Homo-oligomer: A and B are copies of this chain.
Amino acid sequence: MRRPAKTPPAGRRPAMPRPPAAARAPAAKPYHHGDLRRVLIDAAMQLVGEGGPEAVSVREAARRAGVSPGAPFRHFPSRDALMNVVAEEAQRRFRAEIEAALADAPPGDPLGRFRCLGIAYLRWAMKNPTHFEIISSRRFFDHDRSAAVSSDNAELIGLTERLLAEAFSAGQLGMRDLKQVQIAGRALVYGFARMHLDGHLPRWGVGEAEAERMAADILDLFIAGIASRAAPSAKV
């Protein structure tokens, strides 16, 4: 374990009495930070964006907020708690963007809406790779410890399942097993997002520019594959 996590040390020593800071410029810096909690979250979000989840440190967030290293612990009991809030923020943005994209999609045609969802999903994941990573992996924070993340995530997954179930009911999926289609669709989209995140796409000859087009292509391929009897031609 690199991070001590739960080490209850004993033995503190009383600090030296500090001379009162009598003489101070009155408007220089107020003792109380306006909204330190919010500033810390923003700093942490920025750190995630710059260097990934690993780059988030309480001290660095405090440094950027112009505050002492111990101050953040008044607002977050631990680094993990800070990460939880960051994850909630990311998950909230993710869901909002997908639902916005879906609101623009025409109703009816469940497979078309599924495609639209997949595109929005991948677009956000590729535009915010490090934030996507936090809410994807259980490594950086535990989904179960945040009701907000869990419910937002369940909502998105439920949306996907519902669309494919509607397509199934409408007879668009032929005789295929619905659950298998749902999981395969999920795996395909999630896999492409992770391939981008993990830097695999260049190996496959897909540059940053072509990534979004390729995402649309494989979604179309998938839809054509599961659709009951679509024209087999691809290469749209």
Residues of A within 8 A of B (CB): 1-3, 51-52, 54-55, 57, 60, 136-139, 143, 153-154, 157, 174-177, 179-184, 186-192, 194-195, 197-200, 203-206, 214, 217-218, 221-222, 224-226, 228-229, 232-235
**A176 partner residues in chain B, CB cutoff 8 A:** 221, 232-235
On whether A139 and B52 interact (CB within 8 A), knowing A190-B200, A191-B190, A204-B182, the answer reads yes
Task: State how many copies of this chain the complex holds.
Answer: 2
**A194 partner residues in chain B, CB cutoff 8 A:** 136, 190-191, 194
What is the interface of chain A mostly: helix, strand, loop, or mixed?
helix
Contact of A181 among B60, B192, B205, B221 (CB under 8 A): B221
**A181 partner residues in chain B, CB cutoff 8 A:** 221
Inter-subunit contact A214/B183 (CB<8 Å): yes
**A188 partner residues in chain B, CB cutoff 8 A:** 184, 187-188, 191
Contact of A2 among B54, B183, B205, B229 (CB under 8 A): B54
On whether A2 and B55 interact (CB within 8 A), knowing A177-B234, A187-B192, the answer reads yes
What are 19 pairs between A and B in contact, CB < 8 Å? A1-B51, A52-B139, A136-B198, A137-B197, A157-B204, A174-B233, A175-B232, A175-B234, A176-B232, A177-B221, A184-B188, A184-B218, A186-B200, A187-B192, A187-B218, A188-B191, A191-B192, A194-B194, A228-B232
